[in-house]
Amino acid sequence: MGGRIRNFRWQPLALALLVGAAGGTLFALARMPLAWMMGAMLFTTGAALAGARMHVPTPLRAVFVTVLGVLLGSAFTPDLINQVPRFATGLAVQVCFMAMGTMAAYYVYRRYGRYDRVSSFFSATPGGMSEMTILAESMGGDPRVVSLNHTIRIIVVVTLIPFYFRFVEGLDVPSSPRGAGFSQLDPLDGLVLVACAAIGYPLARWLRFPAAQLMGPMILSALVHITGITSSAVPPVITALAQLVVGTAVGCRFVGGYAMRALAKVGAIAAATSFVYVLLALVTVGVVSQFADLNAPILFLSLAPGGLAEMSLIALALGVDTAFVAIMHFLRVLIVMTMAAPFFKLLKAYRPEPTGNPAD
């Protein structure tokens, strides 16, 4: 452990955080929505594509994702128990939407990206970037293409939605986190929140939960808030720092010397499929809201396939039903991780790969 610390290079991390902080600051001054996450994400993406050598260590990102988990858990209320029928309806809509979205994106990747079948399918699945990349590689696909497509999807969806709500729907998406500061946080409540992060992450990891660093702390935080043990939330300064680190880490995924010509092709197709997902979500919401008692903005946030943490943060910033959105995205990731490989094997068995033509 000591050798690893001595060999750790601080410069790529310092540069990443500096670029991310610059983007977050400028976005905050311009009063852009979710400034610290959006500014950091877009600035580090640009710097990475320009060749900057930046890196956010996975353990550091995990620490700050646990902070976001505690923050999201504070949005849960005792009334959540009475909403089980609404979750059942939302889950049914989610499953149908995921099936339609995956097949639509798969068609785009096969027809226009001309990817092989494995890479197309695991690029099209709406979630589980790390897991889908590993599965694609194990089945003979291109892991770099799959990872890049998922990264671009997250960036496009997470960028579009706050601007959509602010400039199309006219809803207030704040630039910076709101809430009580450190001076108003009781020390005992602070210890409870820290315990939710410190215990929740390793416990969820031991139980093999998807997105353990987010879901473990969120579940424990939800329990202590639902039961009334505490009503406190994470101070805005810590929340902004967590958004900064998470946004910076997303942008740093583009570090690695991508050939610009290949990146332009993959990026264009990935962006197109991201727009397909967003438009399909809007259409689905428009249809479902005519028949089901589900709030349209909340359902839209629950379907749009950005990252679990990022979409939940947007819901929290909008002041809508964060608990519903977070649970729907957790279920989305869980379904993708458990069903993607079996579904692909069924697809492959039903329609074998033709020879001589990579894009049937």
Location of structure tokens 């199309």: 168
175-223 confidence digits (pLDDT tens): 666 666 666 778 898 899 999 999 999 999 998 887 788 889 989 998 9
Domain spans, the chain: 9-350
Cβ neighbours of residue 289 closer than 8 Å, sequence gap 6 or more: 296, 299
CA distances from 101 to 108, 135, 145, 225, 326 (A): 11, 19, 19, 35, 20
Asked whether the whole model's pTM tops 0.95, one would answer no
Report the amino acid identity of residue 293: D
User: Residue 150: enclosing H or E segment and its boundaries?
Assistant: helix 143-167
Arithmetic mean of pLDDT over the chain: 83
Pinpoint the alpha helices (H) of 257-321.
Answer: 260-288, 296-303, 308-318
Confidence of residue 174 (pLDDT cuts 50, 70, 90): low
Q: Name the residue among 107, 137, 100 with its Cα closest to residue 121.
A: 107
Contact 112, 359 (CB under 8 A): no
Q: Which tokens is 47 given? A: 């710097």
CA distances from 294 to 16, 36, 157 (A): 40, 30, 21
Q: CA-CA distance, 73 to 220, in Å (whole number)?
A: 7
CATH topology of domain 9-350: Na+/H+ antiporter like fold (1.20.1530)
Q: What is the 8-class DSSP label of residue 352? A: P
Contact 71, 200 (CB under 8 A): no
The answer on pLDDT for 236 being more than 70 is yes
Contact 322, 177 (CB under 8 A): no
Contact 285, 94 (CB under 8 A): no
pLDDT at 258: 60
Confidence of residue 92 (pLDDT cuts 50, 70, 90): very high
Lowest-confidence pick of 18-32, 102-116, 314-328: 314-328
